[in-house]
Amino acid sequence: MDSTHTAVYSTVLYQFIPFSVRDRPSKLTPLVEVNMTTRRQFLGSISLPAAAAVGGFSAVPPVFRRAGPELVQTLSSHPGTPASVARDEDFWAEVARAFTVDRSMVNFNNGGVSPSPAWVQDAMKGHLDFSNLAPSYTMWDVLEPQQESVRQRMAREWGVDAEEVALTRNASEGLQICQLGYDLKAGDEVLTSTQDYGRMLTTFKQRERREGIVLRQIELPVITEEPTEIVRRFEAGITDRTRLILMCHMINLTGQILPVREVVSMARSHGIPVIVDGAHALAHFDFNISDLECDNYSTSLHKWLFAPHGTGLLYVRREVISDIWPMMAAREEMDGNIRKFEEIGTHPAANHLAVAEALSFHQGIGAKRKAERLIYLRDAWAKPLMEHDRIRIHTSLKPGFACGIANVEIKGEDMPRLRNWLWDQHRILTVSINHSQFQGLRISPSVYSTLEEVDRFVEAMEHVLRSGVPT
φ/ψ (deg, to 5) at 416:
-60, -40
> How confident is the model over 364-373, as a mean pLDDT?
98
Question: Does pLDDT of 193 surpass 90?
Answer: yes
- Of the pLDDT bands very low, low, confident and very high (cuts 50, 70, 90), residue 41 is very low
Whole-number pLDDT of residue 471: 80
pLDDT, mean of residues 150-170: 98
Q: In sequence order, which residues have a C-beta less than 8 Å from that of residue 92 and are 6 or more positions away?
A: 373, 447, 448, 450
Q: Are strands 391-393 and 406-410 parallel, antiparallel or unpaired?
A: antiparallel
CA atoms within 13 A on the CB side of 180: 17
pLDDT at position 57 over 70: no
Which pLDDT score is estimated for 348?
80
Average of per-residue pLDDT across 334-352: 94
Average of pLDDT values for 111-132?
A: 95
Q: What percent of the chain has pLDDT over 90?
A: 83
Residues 347-358, mean pLDDT to the nearest whole number: 94
Write down the pTM of the prediction. Answer: 0.86
- Is pLDDT above 60 for 37? no
When pLDDT is averaged across residues 62-79 and rounded to a whole number, the result is 75
Give pLDDT, residue 284.
98
> In the predicted model, what is the mean pLDDT of residues 151-173?
98
65 has pLDDT over 60: no
pLDDT (average), residues 397-410: 97
Residue 127 in this model has a pLDDT that exceeds 70: yes
CATH number of the structural domain 367-467: 3.90.1150.10
Over range 291-304, report the average pLDDT: 97
Mean pLDDT of 154-175: 98
**Residue 67: pLDDT band with limits 50, 70, 90:** low
3 pLDDT above the threshold of 50: no
Q: In this predicted structure, what is the pLDDT of residue 49?
A: 36
323-349 average pLDDT score:
94
- For range 239-256, the mean pLDDT: 98
What mean pLDDT do residues 319-336 have?
96
For the chain, give the mean pLDDT: 88
CATH assignment, 144-361: 3.40.640.10
- Reported as a pLDDT band with limits 50, 70 and 90, residue 38 is very low
Angle between helices 355-365 and 118-131 in degrees, nearest 10: 160
- Domain boundaries defined on the chain: 3-61+119-142, 144-361, 367-467
172-191 pLDDT tens trace: 999 999 999 999 999 999 99
Average pLDDT over residues 228-239: 98
Q: What is the pLDDT of residue 24?
A: 32
What value does the mean pLDDT take over residues 91-119?
Answer: 96
Question: 359 falls in which pLDDT band (50, 70, 90)?
Answer: very high
Q: Note the pLDDT of residue 347.
A: 84
